[in-house]
Structure 1
Amino acid sequence: MSRRYDSRTTIFSPEGRLFQVEYAMEAIGNAGAAIGILSKDGVVLVGEKKVTSKLLQTSASTEKMYKIDDHVACAVAGIMSDANILINTARVQAQRYTFAYQEPMPVEQLVQSLCDTKQGYTQFGGLRPFGVSFLFAGWDKNFGFQLYMSDPSGNYGGWKAAAIGANNQAAQSMLKQDYKDDMTREEGVQLALKVLSKTMDSTSLTSDKLELAEVFLSPTGNVKYQVCSPETLNKLLVKFGVTQPAAEAS
Structure 2
Amino acid sequence: MGQVEVIRSGQRRHWWNEWLDSRQSFPVTGNFVLEDYAHGVLLVHNEDIVGPGEGFDTHQHRDTEILTWVLEGTVVHQDSAGNSGVIHPGLAQRMSAGTGILHSERNGAGLLERERLHVVQMWIPPDVLGADPGYQELDVAGDLRHNALVPVASGMSRHRSEAAIGIANRHATFHVARLDPGHSIAVPDAPYGHVFIARGTVDYEGHGVLDQGDVVRLTATGGHRVTAVTAAEVLIWEMDASVR
TM-score w.r.t. length of structure 2: 0.31
Larger Rg: 1
Would you tell me which structure has more helix in proportion to its own residues? Answer: 1
